[in-house]
Amino acid sequence: MLEILIFGAVTSAIYAMLAVGFTLIFGVARILNLAHGSFYALGAYGAYVLTTIFKVPLLVAAPLVVVGVALFGMAVERVLIRPMRTSQLAVLMISLAVSLVVEQALFLIFGSEYRNVPSFIDQKYVIGGVDVAGQRLLTLLVAVVSIGGLYLFIQKTRLGSAILAISQDPEAAQYMGIPSDRIFGVVMAMSAGLAALAGIMAGPFLSVQPSMHLLPIVKAFAIVVVGGLGSIPGSIVAALMLGYAETLVAYGISTSWTEIVSVAATLLMLVLRPAGFFGKRAAF
């Protein structure tokens, strides 16, 4: 029982980090970014490259990778997505294409074998009789801190208010002189950086291979649809729900079924209540 509680929390934490970034960029710029999973993958691979090939210590490598991927995210938004913004479908397609290009590039450079990302903590902790790897607990901690930090940032700073303004009413924000385009770039960077951080934290104990972007993006999308597109609290709640649902299924039935949980949840939500639980924007 306790195991499910702990492992469920860790799983939810990773999903939350991915979902929050995804819903943020949607809420602000109405972009359904299917390349979000690629940021996750690049985070993990970045950590692998810097630590294993360039022998950079992990504590230094991690922030470097986060910033690097954030910049990459900004570039993608600026060059590839912004020109397509008139059509949501076009944005979808192009972000999907980007994710495929990244996956193929990773495959061509690194091959399909799993790569090893080092952990921050190598110890095991025992909580109430349950063996938990230190890295997993650290991931949980990092997720809470980073999401909390992001939320505070949005609520308390000027830039944060600008972001909120744009997401609520883009036209009015424009009239008020808020530079939407620049802010999209910033939001994309934050979203990408968060995803990369998730990759760095989860890389050590989950699998690092070129197609690792696919499942996380499916789950992030599921969470965001269930929680309501554009709502950060919604994403967090939905992430918890999904994380625990998966863990329960994994322990109760078998790990093979966990993937279906998220996809089925998305499908059901879309069919029954496209706005999600907390969403303001409907899917039709």
Partner 1 sequence: MAVLPIVFDSRYLMGVLTVAAIYGIWSVSWDFMSGLTGRENFGHSLFIGVGAYAAGFLNTNWGANAWWSLPAGMAAAVVFALIMGIPTLRLKGPYFALAMLSGAVIMQRLMLIFWEYTGGEEGINGIEPLIRSPLYFYWFVLGMLALTVTLLGGLARSRWGLILKAIRGDEATCQAAGLNVTYYKIASLVISAAFAGMGGALYAHYQLQVSPQLFAVVTSITIITMVYVGGMGSIYGAVGGALLLTLMTELLRNFGEWRLMVYSVALILILFFLPQGLVAPTWNKIRQRLSGGQS
Partner 2 sequence: MFKAPFSKRSFSKLALALSAAVLLSPAQAQQGPIKIGLSTAVQLQVGRDTQEATKMAIDEINAKGGVMGRKLSYVVADETENPEVGINAIKKLTADEKVDVIVGGYTSGVTLAQLPHISAAKTIYLGVGAASPSITAKVKQDYENYKYIFRTGPINAVHQAKGLVEWISGHLIGELGLKKIAIIGENAKWVQDLVPVLRKGAVDVGADVKMVEFFDTTTSDFSPLLSKIKSSDAQFLVVVLSHASSDVFAKQWYDSRFPIPYGGIDVKSQDGDFFDRVGGKSLSEVAVNFAVRTPLTVKTVPFFDEFKKRTGRVPVYTAFGAYDSVHAYAQAVERAKSFDTNAIIKELEKTSLPGVAGLLEYDETHDVKAGGKYMNLLFAQWQAKGERVVLWPKSLRSGSMIMPPWLTK
Long-range CB pairs of 223-226 (<8 Å, 24+ gap) are: 223/15, 223/16, 223/18, 223/19, 223/22, 223/262, 224/19, 224/22, 224/23, 224/26, 224/276, 225/266, 225/269, 225/270, 225/274, 225/276, 225/283, 226/265, 226/266, 226/269, 226/276, 226/277
From the list partner 2, partner 1, none, pick the one residue 171 interacts with, judged by a Cβ distance below 5 to 8 Å according to partner type.
none
- Alpha carbon distance 182, 231 (integer Å): 21
Taking CB under 8 A as the criterion, the residue among 270, 273, 277, 280 binding partner 1 is 270
> End-to-end CA distance of the chain, in Å?
40
Q: How many CA atoms lie within 13 A of 229 on its CB side?
A: 22
- Alpha carbon distance 61, 54 (integer Å): 10
Taking CB under 8 A as the criterion, the residue among 58, 100, 133, 144 binding partner 2 is 133
Residues 46-85 that bind partner 2 (CB under 8 A): none
Binding mask 231-250 toward partner 2 (x if CB under 8 A, else -) reads ----------------x--x
- Alpha carbon distance 25, 272 (integer Å): 24
Nearer residue to partner 1 within complex by CB, 1 or 79: 79
Residues 188-207 that bind partner 2 (CB under 8 A): 204-207
From the list partner 2, partner 1, none, pick the one residue 131 interacts with, judged by a Cβ distance below 5 to 8 Å according to partner type.
partner 2
- Alpha carbon distance 43, 46 (integer Å): 5
Taking CB under 8 A as the criterion, the residue among 53, 59, 254, 272 binding partner 2 is 254
Is 209 in a helix, a strand, or coil? coil
Nearer residue to partner 1 within complex by CB, 76 or 200: 76
Rule CB under 8 A: is residue 94 a binding residue for partner 1? Answer: yes
Binding mask 33-62 toward partner 1 (x if CB under 8 A, else -) reads ------------------------------
Rg of the chain taking only CA atoms, in angstroms: 18
Rule CB under 8 A: is residue 262 a binding residue for partner 2? Answer: no
Residues that bind partner 1 (CB under 8 A): 32, 80, 83-84, 88-90, 92-94, 96-98, 100-101, 103-105, 107-108, 214, 218, 221, 256-257, 259-260, 263-264, 266-267, 270-271, 274, 283-284
Residues that bind partner 2 (CB under 8 A): 3, 7, 11, 107, 111-114, 116, 118-119, 122, 124, 131-135, 204-207, 209, 247, 250-251, 254-256
